Structure 1
Amino acid sequence: MGDDPASVAYVRGKARKAAEVGLRSTVHALPEATPQAELLALIAQLNADPAVHGVLVQLPLPVHLDPQPVLDAVLPAKDVDGLHPVSTGHLWAGQPGLRPCTPAGVMALLAFYGLPVAGQRAVIVGRSALVGRPLAALLLNANATVTLAHSRTPDLGAVTREADLLIVAAGRAHLITPDMVRPGATVIDVGINRVPDETGQGRLTGDVHPGVAGVAGALTPVPGGVGPMTVAQLLMNTVLAAEAQQAQSPQPQTPEVSGGLLR
């Protein structure tokens, strides 16, 4: 909704990646002043459409809208963002389901590089419903010992230095400095911030100071680290949702109708 530059860029990138892997995506761009009832009506229409297997509401929404009822309106089977309360319940119960994209992307990244999780002391900085809290559940399900730090945590550095695996999603540029990291720790930088530079356009940087690269055993870059994994997990969720819905359909759907992965 609206013309927020970051949201427009994110949606464009998601549509491009969907096309690359053979998924059909449709963008419903609504004016910023659209009433909440009209947005909910569109979600209900998409929920009822058997040719649509995944619905994602691009956040943030305009300030006159209450985001939670909007997110709750998405059918859990089509909740490819993994933010519906049903999806959250499945996650914390350790049951299969669609997972929030950024936390799931972090777990996929760790698995791809063979970085250990089970038995590790994991510290997450940031407790948002989008990243920190669901990531804590995923790490617990993978048998890590998890600490969730936040803005009210006293002596943050003392906590982060205990981490074998440190994930930072606080939204504060260079919050984590080299002295706050255990030597050899794995550091995942989820933050993305725009800071001033000599061009006047600003540059993107993470929540972790670049100097941490000299201390950590592994460090994800910003940009180009977790961000692409978030989009990849969104596409994975869409395929999983499509396959689950097709399995319940009395008639197989053709690739042109399904909007799922072309085989």
Structure 2
Amino acid sequence: MNDTIQRRKNGERCNDLLQKILDAEEDPEDPLDDFVVFLHMGLFLQAGSETVSNTLSFCFIELMQNSLVYAKLVDELRDAFPSRDHMPDHETLRRIPYLNAVLNETMRMYLQAGQGIRRIIDKDVVLGGYLIPKERDLKQNLIVKGYFFQTKIIASTSQVARDPTVWSEPEKFKSERFLEEDVPIDAFMPFSSGSRNCIGKNYAYMEMRLALGILVHRFHFEFVLEQEVRISRMASTWSKSHRGALCK
């Protein structure tokens, strides 16, 4: 952020996300203040690091537990990059069907924002026979520097991603479902959906494709012997394995 501030002082501009946010501070109609910019940048830094690394950790655990899936992915990568000296590139990786299916199945089973998608309601609604008011008692609301937080509703994306009425054998890791099944768009939302979906979606896909493609292409992974692998997710902002797994 300091580098960007210095570039602005020097009259230089970069067409990046931080520049867009700083420009929004000067919007005469709806300017952002420093507090909101601080919140945005903190979220971007947090959301763009742990989410990718956690997803890849779950992915490798599933690959090592599913030898046929692992072997098929290796074969596909070797077909695309016959030489071990050929460093996989993203332009090729994004067009490899099974690689993307493996990543999508990992994200289906281990959503990084599985707590749900929050939305503020703009009017009183009745849902399932329950009245959800637009605003709660003012004493129960939180006011931070003039920002008033109204009633929020949360859609549990993790429950939808494991709903047996939507997915066949939802508790099983089946990469082929993303090749063979007609995946309903509203049931697979690792990056949310619609015009307000995750701003880092494409960048996250690029990171995961490159990391998974390069590592699987160049190395072989397996569990350390005599290890009991049990995947249990921690109750945190992002899904992560409670115990993890040792591999070599």
Indicate whether the TM-score tops 0.5. Answer: no
Which protein is richer in helix relative to its size? 2
TM-score (norm 2): 0.25
- The structure with more radius of gyration: 2
